A and B are shown apart, each in its own frame.
Chain A
Amino acid sequence: MKKSIGILVIVLGIVFSLLTTTLAFSAEKVEITYWGIGDDGANIMPKLVKRFNDAHPNIEVKYLIVPLEQGTATKLLTAIAGGNPPDAARLDRTMTVQWGALGSLVPLDEFMKDSGVKREDFYPRALDDCIWNDQVWALPVEADPCAMLFWNKDLFRQVGLNPEKPPKSIEELDELADKLTKRDDRGNFERIGFAPWLHMGFTFWPSGWAFGGEFYDPKTKKVTANDPKIVQAMEWVLSYAKKLDATRVKSFAATYSTAAAINPFIAGRLAMAYDGVWAIGLLKKYAPKLKYGWRTVPGYSKGGRENFFVLGCSVVIPKGSKHPKEAWEFINWLTSGDALRDWCSANSYLPAKIDVADNPIFFRNPDYARMISIMKTIYDSPPVMPAIGVYTSEIQAAQDAVIYFQKTPKQALDDVTTKVQAELNKYLR
């Protein structure tokens, strides 16, 4: 008995002394943690964090790199659910509205008012992506054009097309794609003109928008995946699947993946493709001699429109953060001025804040300058609603089902509409 009391006293003594020392330290500086989910290791972020810490003596930011997942952020989710979240984190913009609607994030409107940050400071759709129930749940960081129509000028020249004249409409795109597709005597592809589900086409959004379709009506809060224009877009995708045989195309393209070093477009095997701003860097690195051009995705001439798919990340303050004010200081700093400019130029991103984008660093590059001016008027992003996780997954599966001839376009899109609407209704209760 005496022995066990003795041990208990010693253990309590150690624990107590540890607690008091940490309490003493925390009284001086507020320590906040920031999770850079998906950040590259050799990146500029550590330097930015140091710059912030030096400029703000009462706040110390601890930076942690967290790996990126596809469609999920399990580490952040479990941290918030477990009551032990970071004070700030980087999160894909399409996820912010769902997470906000679930009550897992801290709304930022009050902070924005106090710091004089106005909604108009950002590209309109960039901030819209983060608003649900008229509350701002995240601050956008970058504006990444991710589905532009790239075309290979060399291949155009080879088949006798004018390399400076990309297709102006979907119909023209179809014509050119046929001219550019080449098979060998066994019927396998040597070159494919275009396939709407390759590269960033796997998301299906750009194809839907090209035919003038809208996937969601924010006024009625109705999912409109089976809108006649979108069904028309899916029929168009199906026509390519019939012409080319999706399995053959997937085998042809399966060697390459969109984010890895080579892809069919860079290898000169795909004449036209939906791809993102990162393709410019990849082309420079892996195919410097390839002459290419890019433009907004052309629209269907009868009722369609050109579109420009822009995505990006944002920063959020998870619910349960013990220092939301200091966290706000950090994320506001990170998404404006010099910090944002340096982060974006180091990673070849474009900033989501208008005054930062109006910087010669970005205008020096003719591609970026074009993108920035396009984004002022044409800017498309996936529907802003909490069921977006299910919507993204379902619409991709629908396109897959159509190109592998498992479902008709109308059937596939009807299923998506029913499912996603049911999911959305849970949030509207």
Chain B
Amino acid sequence: MKSQLYISKVTKRNIRNGLLFVSPFLIGFTCFIAYPILASLYYSFCDFNIFQEPRWIGIENYRNMLKDDLFITSAYNTIYYTLLYIPFSLFFGIGMALLLNTKVKGLSIYRTIYYLPTLVPTVAASILWLQILDPTYGLINNILRIFGIYGPGWIADPKWAKPSLVIMGFWGIGGAVIIYLAGLQDVPQQLYEAAELDGASSWQKVIYITIPMISPIILFNLIIGIIGALQYFTQAYVMTSGGPANSTLFYSLYLFRNAFQFFRMGYASAMAWLLFITTLICTLVVLKSSARWVYYGGTK
């Protein structure tokens, strides 16, 4: 009994030293991360224009969100983008990784080329893609014209603006591809050889061996992808300012506008917390479902 309550001097000193070493991080975290987050939770229940004292209004901000048609538009736009982008990004990401895993000449050159776009800063890429997506002089429509197809207005057309942004997103898929590639290296060769002996086709090998073996990586990219898509901001801010006709007014962009253009800090904080809870729920749902389709190789 005595030995359970007794903490030795050495242990006490170790704890103290450990805490001292971590203290800069703890202080920084508390002041710059935890406090602002908790403060924004408080502000989400207030009417706050940043220059005057916040005024407590309970859940009115949250109630107003449902009545605000721009809020509904921004939520719709964000969900639309997420649902359109994520499945295709998984498909293209894995497909590209499989292709970049074949033994062809100049493989490292191909891998470098497909990874390079991720190094371009987002703002620079946005301005570049404004040119590419231009309806009259842009690259895409000019190439389509060679085949006699008159391309749509892309970024200038309310119906095509979001799909254009999705297409632009595929350009930067190299980051996820590298992670898939790393996972592909870990798939044991014997499995493929055993499957060939049993007469499996290439497609069957992919479905029954490759995908299950890299499913933890797919899970990771899926969650990261969802979190990123729900927070989509920079490209819309730089390229379209939410237009045309609010078709690219994404949730984060509307949040930013509410905070800094309309001085509705309380409302913006409420939007931020709603986004946080939504992202949390999505992540939990994906994680819960992962028990069914993610295979962690190993001794079991």
Q: Mark A391-410, 1 if CB is under 8 A from B, else 0.
A: 00100010011011010000
Taken together as a complex, chains A and B put the C-alpha atoms of A401 and B135 apart, in Å, by 21
Q: How many interface residues does chain A have, given as a range?
A: 20 to 34
| A250 and B263 contact, Cβ closer than 8 Å, known pairs A80-B51, A103-B52 | no
Closest Cβ–Cβ distance, residue B128 to chain A (whole Å): 15
B183 within 8 A of A: no
Taken together as a complex, chains A and B put the C-alpha atoms of A400 and B240 apart, in Å, by 13
Q: How many interface residues does chain B have, given as a range?
A: 20 to 34
Interface-located stretch among A24-32, A69-77, A148-156, A232-240: A69-77
A335 within 8 A of B: no
Inter-chain contact count A-B, CB under 8 Å? 74
Q: Mark B144-161, 1 if CB is under 8 A from A, else 0.
A: 000000100101111000
Given the complex, which residues of B lie within 8 Å of A390, measured CB to CB? 261-262
| A247 and B51 contact, Cβ closer than 8 Å, known pairs A74-B260, A255-B137, A404-B245 | no
Q: Is the pair B156, A397 in contact by a Cβ cutoff of 8 Å? A: no
Which single member of A102, A255, A400, A415 contacts B135 (CB below 8 Å)? A255
Given the complex, which residues of B lie within 8 Å of A124, measured CB to CB? none
Given the complex, which residues of A lie within 8 Å of B69, measured CB to CB? 415
Taken together as a complex, chains A and B put the C-alpha atoms of A401 and B156 apart, in Å, by 14
Q: Is the pair B246, A397 in contact by a Cβ cutoff of 8 Å? A: yes
Q: Mark B25-58, 1 if CB is under 8 A from A, else 0.
A: 0000000000000000000000101111000000
Q: Is the pair A254, B153 in contact by a Cβ cutoff of 8 Å? A: yes
A251 within 8 A of B: yes
Given the complex, which residues of B lie within 8 Å of A98, measured CB to CB? 263
Interface of B is mostly: loop
Which single member of B150, B153, B262 contacts A423 (CB below 8 Å)? B262
Closest Cβ–Cβ distance, residue B54 to chain A (whole Å): 12
Q: Is the pair A81, B50 in contact by a Cβ cutoff of 8 Å? A: yes
A104 within 8 A of B: yes
Q: Is the pair B51, A254 in contact by a Cβ cutoff of 8 Å? A: no
A252 within 8 A of B: yes
Which single member of A71, A186, A426 contacts B261 (CB below 8 Å)? A71
Which single member of B70, B134, B150, B245 contacts A254 (CB below 8 Å)? B134
Name the residue in B52, B70, B153, B261 with the highest tally of chain A Cβ atoms < 10 Å from its Cβ: B261
A389 within 8 A of B: yes
Closest Cβ–Cβ distance, residue A382 to chain B (whole Å): 14
Taken together as a complex, chains A and B put the C-alpha atoms of A104 and B261 apart, in Å, by 14
Q: Is the pair B263, A401 in contact by a Cβ cutoff of 8 Å? A: no
Which single member of A77, A400, A423 contacts B50 (CB below 8 Å)? A77
Name the residue in A102, A254, A401, A403 with the highest tally of chain B Cβ atoms < 10 Å from its Cβ: A254
Question: Can you name 15 extra interface pairs (CB under 8 A) apart from A72-B261, A254-B135, A401-B245?
Answer: A71-B257, A71-B261, A74-B260, A80-B51, A98-B263, A102-B49, A247-B156, A250-B156, A255-B135, A389-B262, A393-B261, A400-B245, A401-B246, A403-B245, A406-B245
Residues on A facing B (Cβ under 8 Å)? 70-72, 74, 77, 80-81, 98, 102-104, 186, 247-248, 250-252, 254-255, 319, 389-390, 393, 397, 400-401, 403-404, 406, 415, 423, 426
